[in-house]
Structure 1
């Protein structure tokens, strides 16, 4: 994990990455007692958050979005000062953050996240089946770790916080040291909405590396959501697993996001691929978790032309300010290590500068015959390694050696089928999202999105941190057997008063409000009648 400064005190300071200077003291690092108090308050808020119901939680999320928009000018000014990402980028990020809150409000209102299943008693079954009713319920308090590279969308008001609240779980957020003032301002907006909803302890904020450790080990915390480095995330993951009562740790750690260019694609549009690839790996000064870090390009005339075009564009690309001086130093060291590997050639880029907080885009090349494991780790920043392959079989073998990634991208020729099918077959075993003829930087917030992947991309590839299914991380199943109707949650009663989608006796039922579109009605026992 990165710290904004090496100050020896417990002060939490806001640093301008453009100058490296401390701008203000935001507060003090949270003590163990303060962390424990916030976790206890979050645990006590579980019934109150549950009492809001789905409609109340959806209203809370929408109100939080409105509060963020109301404080938008202040939040954007602080975020730009602490991240150097620029107002245009941050304005879009704030809009995405608010849209994400509203989207998840719609998701929980729709109700299918509850996974309601009803099996009525069947004495004639072998063995006899009792009356069983199953649904998902909140886990309890969730610890969220803000990310450095998205001070809004993946930080205090980001997707982890939003999806935990949508699930009915109170949240304690550990602010990222790269943007503590932004964290405090966004927390204030969320708190305003929470107070108005009558659940002030639904969200709280702590500061400091020690506070993060205390959060993960607090017995009241039931799950952790983390976005950050492999080193920091793995340390916290191990803590979560070593607890007397281990808890799930949903971590997004590191990803190299391979991109493949087939020979046909290089022939048809090599220059445009080079242009798009430059924009993707340098976007946000290369500080996107979905940045393509490896690009597999064919040997030969057209592959060489693509490489040369990318190198020329990279040499002309401006240096960019990185999020913190520590991140810049790690990037510089990472580039030096990559460039020192056997067979690696520097096509563009100079020694990264650490005097002004800026990083120079770097393009490296290595023949596939010399591609090794040392080139498969994420280097956070504007660097890409071009891997030159000679044959299709060599390409597939190289792809099969890669670690887990969030994305894999394929650029293919018009109408090309055989090689693309073979590439997709290989990469789907080691990635969470396949992108065709595009670029992976940019993650849509939608019902179908998957932002995850095999380790080290994520610690649990069965779940996503973006999209409708992100809520599932913070739910657990419970079944009721032979329980009287009066004691059942409304979602499980035969009359389905909330109209949630359900599977009844093996048949998927839809909401009553959908009957006009689907020709479906509900019987008196809640089963679907067509």
Structure 2
């Protein structure tokens, strides 16, 4: 998603290890897994209220640390509070538990006992925060909200791009949780690369949620898999988010589509996981001329960190030095070094489809920041060949004409993306029950899961089946009479 920190296995400083041990011990001792759904919903609502109460203070810190506009950050606080309240509703509603009851039936082979199954909290989890969403994917972001709703205590690994904001948000969260009657240790904060490594390797951490770079995420994923007892690692990593503009759409509204693309790939400096980084456009439709004029007028923006600014400059320069591309925009010269505090200007790289296919690995490398690659195709055969080179992405977009048959395109793009957008732009991810924010590698490490939407809670749950259990041993959600009134499947039939 965003440029991340390098990580490596190895010995951890004793002081760092002690701090991680203490944080994890508090999380485990909190007993969060045995709390009620109603109580956890109230905690989430208290966290949302605390964010909103301290909105001005937090925005000021975030603006200073990330260079994002106060308007953007204000909207992100609103979104983050909405996410917390959304997961409060998910917890109260209860269908996420997948409560399922099968009555005993001695006539089956083998005879069926009384079976009752539901999802239970997986245990204390680690959450690695993102740089580009200092609220919505940070200390109180989607991962934390869904984990708390599931009944998991959370140890948050702060992002170094906004340390002061992370600390202050965590302080407010701890106070809000205490005021809402939550036990100590529901949320704790650790900082630093070593702490992150120790957290993933800690034997009492049961799962990890991560949003960041493919390089950093892969390193942590490997650590999670290499543990004596491997654990789930839910990483949201890099994504190109391809867009296909059909010939009919380009002929009908080339200027409008160019404006939409520029608005999307330059939004907040192109620092979105859903930025359209690859666009397939039919040649000779006037789209390129419209794009060139708009890119020239698009503002430059200082990126989140100096490391990201340098990486963007190097990535743009590597594209611009190729002899098979045309460049729209200004690419910074690297001969005298890069001013990592200077704003980064938008860049579009134009390449013919046959050259894209010949060097697809190069063109599919994510360049985090305001850059997009535009692939010109001359016919359907060239387009199909180019689409065949795509890797996993969070999104794919089809810009088409009214009543145009795009079923074949939809099938092709559904195989590489977790969300397919029609006649829109992928930046912006709605908070909803039907949302899916995921995709196959390298977009995520677990394509069946999402980090946005109600089913994000599923990452932090594990199923348990109870066979012929006495009523007193059963969770209330599985007892006869459905005392908590949650949706359940009984003998194969859904019942509210």
Give yes or no for TM over 0.5: yes
Q: Deviation per CA, 1:170-220, whole angstroms, max 9, x where unpaired?
A: 000000000001101111121112222231200000010000000000000
4+ runs deviating over 4 angstroms: 1-4
On the 8 A contact 1:3/1:326 being kept in 2, the answer is no
- Distance in 2 (alpha carbons) for counterparts of 1:468 and 1:30: 38
Match of 2:316 among 310, 314, 335: 335
Equivalence for 1:406: 394
Distance 1:29 1:67 in 2: 34
Match status 1:147 vs 2:130: yes
Contact 1:446 1:468 in 2 (8 A): yes
* Residues 260, 410 of structure 1: 8 Å contact kept: yes
**1:194/1:201 contact within 8 Å kept:** no
Shift of 1:37: 0.9
1:121 pairs with 2:77: no
Please give the alpha-carbon distance, in whole angstroms, between the structure 2 residues aligned to 1:222 and 1:390: 51
Matched residue of 2:464: which SS? strand
Q: Give me the whole-angstrom Cα distance separating, in 1, the residues matched to 2:410 and 2:14.
A: 47
- In 1, Cα distance between the equivalents of 2:110 and 2:320? 65
Q: Is the contact made by 1:312 and 1:348 (CA closer than 8 Å) also made in structure 2?
A: no
Partner residue, 2:10: none
Structure 2 residue aligned with 1:25 = none
**1:90, distance to aligned residue in structure 2 (A):** 0.2
SS in 2 for 1:250: strand
**Take 2:375 and 2:470, find their aligned partners in 1: how far apart are those partners?**
64
Cα shift at 1:50: 3.2
Query: 2:449 & 2:342 partners in 1: Cα distance?
Result: 35
Report the TM-score when normalising by structure 2: 0.95
Distance (whole Å) between structure 1 residues aligned to residue 200 and residue 183 of structure 2: 23
Q: Partner residue of 2:83? A: 100
**CA–CA distance in structure 2, aligned partners of residues 41 and 509 of structure 1:** 39
Relative contact order higher in (CA < 8 Å, ≥ 6 apart): 2
CA deviations 1:141-190 (Å, max 9, x no partner) are 11000100000000111000000000000000000000001101111121
Give 2:481's aligned residue: 495
Match of 2:307 in 1: 326
1:198 partnered with 2:188: no
Pick the aligned partner of 1:245 from 229, 242, 246. 229
1:443 partnered with 2:424: no
Which of the residues 275, 278, 296 maps onto 1:315?
296
Q: Distance in 1 between matches of 2:340 and 2:438?
A: 35
- Provide the C-alpha distance between the structure 1 equivalents of 2:322 and 2:79, rounded to a whole number of angstroms: 39
The answer to whether the 8 A contact 1:30-1:208 is kept is: no
Q: Indicate conservation of the 8 Å contact 1:30/1:207, yes or no.
A: no
Pick the aligned partner of 1:138 from 116, 121, 127. 121
Does the residue aligned with 2:91 lie in a helix, a strand or coil? helix
Does residue 46 of structure 2 align to residue 63 of structure 1?
yes
Deviates more, 1:161-170 or 1:339-348: 339-348
SS in 1 for 2:45: helix
The reply on whether 1:88 has 2:47 as its aligned counterpart is no
- CA shift for structure 1 position 333: 0.9
Q: How far off is 1:30 after superposition?
A: 6.8
Matches of 1:483 and 1:2, distance apart in 2: 47
Deviation at 1:357, TM superposition (A): 3.1
Check whether the contact 1:29–1:211 (CA below 8 A) recurs between aligned residues. Answer: no
Task: Give the whole-Å Cα distance in 2 for the aligned partners of 1:30 and 1:361.
Answer: 43
1:431 is aligned to 2:417:
yes
Report the alpha carbon displacement of residue 393 of structure 1 after superposing the two structures with TM: 1.9
SS at match of 2:394: coil
Per-residue CA deviations over 1:246-269 (Å, capped at 9, x if unaligned) read: 000000010000011000000111
Superposed counterparts of 1:469-488, under 5 Å: 469-488=455-474
Shift, 1:338, TM fit = 2.0
Equivalent residue, structure 1, for 2:9:
none
Cα contact 1:79–1:179 (8 A) shared by 2: yes
Paired residues in the alignment total: 481
Check the 8 A contact 1:79/1:90 in 2, yes or no: yes
1:109 aligns with 2:92: yes
**Equivalent residue runs for 1:159-170 within 5 Å:** 159-170=142-153
2:376 paired with 1:393:
no
Give 1:476 deviation, angstroms: 0.4
Q: Secondary structure at the match of 1:406?
A: strand
SS at match of 1:126: coil
CA–CA separation in structure 1 for the residues paired with 2:323 and 2:410? 29
Q: CA deviation at 1:355?
A: 4.9
Cα deviation 1:338-366 (Å, max 9, x = unaligned): 22345111122231762533101001100
Secondary structure of the corresponding residue to residue 185 of structure 2 = helix
Aligned with 2:255 (options 252, 271, 280): 271
Partner Cα distance (1:71, 1:35) in 2: 28
Q: In structure 2, the residue corresponding to 1:201 is in which secondary structure?
A: coil
> Matched residues in 2 for 1:70 and 1:287: separation?
27
Change (3 A) 1:240 1:330: same
TM-score if structure 1 supplies the norm length?
A: 0.89
Report Cα offsets for 1:106-146 as digits up to 9, x if no partner: 01111000000000100011221010000000000110001
Quote the Cα distance in structure 1 between the aligned partners of 2:164 and 2:182: 25
